[in-house]
Amino acid sequence: MSTTPLASLDVGRLEHWRTLCPTLHVDGWLDPPASDISDVDELVEQLRTEGYVNVPGVLEQSVFEPLRDCIATLHREGIPLAFAFVYDEFWLAFQGVSRFIEAALGKGYVALPDFWVWHLTASEQASGFAPHRDRVQPTLEADNSPHSLTVWLPFSDATPLNGCIYVLPAHRDERFRRRVWDGPDNTKVEKPQDIRALPARAGSLLAWNQAILHWGGRASSRAQVPRTSAAFEFQRGDRPPFNEPLLDPQRIPSFPERLGLIGKQVLQYRHMYPLAPDVERVAIELRDRFMPHVVSAIGPVSPRIEPQHQPHQASNNRLPEQEPQDGPAEPSAPTEQPRKSPLIDSRRLRESMARRLFRRSVATGNITLPAVPSMIDEYVTMCDQVFAAVGSRFNAEELAHLRSVIEGQLAKAYASSQRSTVTISYDAPIGPTLNYTLRAEWKTIAATYHDWIATREPPLFGTQPDARVWALANEAADPRTHRILEIGAGTGRNALALARRGHPVDVAELTPKFAEMIRSDAERESLEVRVLQRDIFSTTDDLRQDYRLIVLSEVVPEFRSTQELRSLFELAARCLAPDGRLVFNAFLAQPEYTPDQAARELGEQMYTSIFTWPEVSTAAAQLPLELVADDSVHEYEKAHLPEGAWPPTSWYAGWITGIDVFDVDPEECPIEMRWLVYRKTG
């Protein structure tokens, strides 16, 4: 198995790092570099108004050039770039701009354990982070004074050709007026002309509040130099932590602490930069081994850490338990009578021990679920239980924020496709902290079935034609005059069988691979099958108007609205010959059951869109179509398929009874798939 260079490097040995970049220092006790920042009050005012600042000429060339060269070395050696923070000079660079950070965040500001490093090569594939807001919870005062800040330092010239930063200025962003930064479309730009590019010379200072929409551009092969930069996040000292542990920005962590923090960074940004397994293993080892030793700054009381368990004050780079004692303490006489021992409650003690046990756990995971917006309560409850199980019990405020984030991603995914998911990724290091991210993903129906072809064993839908379709076709004495249209033919098990019987068959198939398979099989057998690879409802210009039978098998369960059902009936009324038949199967609710929105949404995700009888009747209203047959798919197919052909697939019998949506016995299920046959009366 191949490994990355990091796997063979003893990252815990100082000499490795000193040899790798000999001009830089580890635990070298250097002073912060001088910086040239003029009117900080003017910069802070710009930060409030536009949400960002871009200040040229802050760091000297002698400061940023060694950092640029170090990052290039790490990139060349294949070492994750966050390891640049092994070296003192990267911490010192951000200390060098502390005058501005203090003006923006106030005295006593603290550093967050959030930093990153970039090296974008002159390549069409290289790009910075996609459009995002660093935090979507409220991080601003009413006048847009920030509670937290991202500081970004370029060590090479950042230009549009090598992926400079782009922002939507705060005063051009409608969300700053509404004071809502999360939810659907929170990265959408209504007026692209409002976007502002921020090219920056090496040694500049860029900073932005964490609500502003921003991103790194895509690089070009025409770029003259790579874009090399680093960022660090900070927050006010009088606000609850946005991440933990908070760090003293004027203290450089010890070498072991840096390794723990670097491991944490590599893991918490893996949703942006996927990790090789060996890199992930090293990062987890560093985080688990060294993060418990990271000395925290004295900060505000965290909503998730009891006051008596707040971090200790950092002192001369020692851990609290290493502090020297002034000498043996003199015993003192007791001033009060000993307290009476409390009543021991074994159950409560056991529960308290369990809380401590779980807080020592280290957990990472991904939970991927179908996107069902109306079941938001179930998503939140699941996350609450999972997070609590790994030692991170959310309070009401945190659960409310989690709910709003999940709601936004669910709505985004579900609106895009009924083949959509939301992935919840979480990372819980030792302690009560838990980091999580959400990602919405979706596919088209065509892409979904293409994946079926690539990953599932055939036959995908069975080998025999549907018994109900076959029975209707057999009513024709002369198949050659009985033209058939099948919509959504899949692998062609109906269409090809009907063509072999002698019927001229037209097929409308949305999935390109299915259309190709049917066309190939028909040509090989010299069957009269015409294949239309498209959405059947986009136009009827190439359809005939003398079809004797129109077939939709397992297609209506993909519909998302009664309007699609109406479109089907209108197509049948237009394209069927007089006395022709329309046959389709659909999931129908029992008369005494009215599906709510959650059932409908989950049904769509399970290939089981649900309709009611009144909805079907309304969709067919005032068209020359009459219902002439209504049969249970389960009962009809089981009774009429050839011997050995039932069930067509391993999943078919359960699916058509509706239990993919409702986890109950089939007899208790409030929906069922039924065959409906309509006759054209005109």
Q: State pLDDT tens for residues 513-555.
A: 999 999 999 999 999 999 999 998 888 889 999 999 999 999 9
Residue 131 has pLDDT above 60, yes or no: yes
Residue 657 has pLDDT above 80, yes or no: yes
Residue with tokens 């003029």: 38
Please determine whether the domains at 355-442 and 446-680 fall in the same fold group of CATH: no
Residue 672 has pLDDT above 90, yes or no: yes
In terms of average pLDDT, the best of 24-38, 219-233, 325-339, 341-355 is: 219-233
DSSP 345: -
Pick the range with the lowest mean pLDDT from 138-142, 300-304, 569-573. Answer: 300-304
As a whole-number percent, the residues of the chain with pLDDT over 70 amount to 91
Q: What is the pLDDT of residues 220-279, one digit of tens each?
A: 999 999 999 999 999 999 999 999 999 999 999 988 899 999 999 999 887 677 788 888
**Two structure tokens written together for 360:** 């020592």
CA 480 – CA 583 distance, rounded (Å): 20
How many other β-carbons are positioned within 10 Å of the β-carbon of residue 118?
Answer: 24
96, 35 Cβ separation under 8 angstroms: yes
Query: Vertex 284, ends 281 and 287: CA angle to 5°?
Result: 150
The pLDDT score that the predictor gives to residue 271 is 67
Pick the range with the lowest mean pLDDT from 338-342, 353-357, 432-436. Answer: 338-342
172, 130 Cβ separation under 8 angstroms: no
SS3 assignment, position 167: strand
Q: Can you state the angle between helices 40-50 and 98-105, rounded to 10 degrees? A: 50
355-442 classified as CATH 3.30.565.10: yes
Fold designation for 42-179+192-252: Jelly Rolls (2.60.120)
**Nearest one of 41, 30, 7 to 95, comparing CA atoms:** 30
Residue 670 has pLDDT above 90, yes or no: yes
Q: Where are the domains of the chain?
A: 42-179+192-252, 355-442, 446-680
Residue with tokens 């060269």: 69
CA 162 – CA 179 distance, rounded (Å): 33
Average pLDDT estimate for 366-387? 95
CA 174 – CA 178 distance, rounded (Å): 6
Average pLDDT estimate for 207-222? 95
Beta-bridge partner residues of 344 = none
Q: What are phi and psi for residue 513, nearest 5 degrees?
A: -65, -40
How many other β-carbons are positioned within 10 Å of the β-carbon of residue 615?
Answer: 17
Average pLDDT estimate for 55-73? 95
Average pLDDT estimate for 14-42? 87
| pTM of the predicted protein model | 0.53
DSSP 523: H
64, 229 Cβ separation under 8 angstroms: no
CA 118 – CA 463 distance, rounded (Å): 54
DSSP 542: T
Residue with tokens 């930093």: 115
Model confidence at 310, pLDDT cuts 50, 70, 90, reads very low
Model confidence at 355, pLDDT cuts 50, 70, 90, reads confident
**397 Rama sector, left if φ>0, alpha if ψ -120 to 50, beta otherwise:** alpha
| Residue 563 burial class via C-beta count within 10 angstroms: exposed 0-12, middle 13-18, buried 19 and up | exposed
**Two structure tokens written together for 202:** 């090496």
Average pLDDT estimate for 287-297? 81
The pLDDT score that the predictor gives to residue 250 is 92
446-680 classified as CATH 3.40.50.720: no
**Two structure tokens written together for 120:** 């974008």
The pLDDT score that the predictor gives to residue 4 is 56
> How far separated are the first and last CA of the chain, in Å rounded?
70
**Two structure tokens written together for 394:** 């959310």
The pLDDT score that the predictor gives to residue 431 is 67
The pLDDT score that the predictor gives to residue 317 is 30
DSSP 587-626: EEE-TT----HHHHHHHHHTT--EE-HHHHHHHHTTSSEE
Residue 333 has pLDDT above 50, yes or no: no
**Nearest one of 531, 534, 636 to 583, comparing CA atoms:** 636
Residue 322 has pLDDT above 60, yes or no: no
DSSP 648: S
Q: What does DSSP say about strands 505-508 and 484-487: parallel, antiparallel, or unpaired?
A: parallel
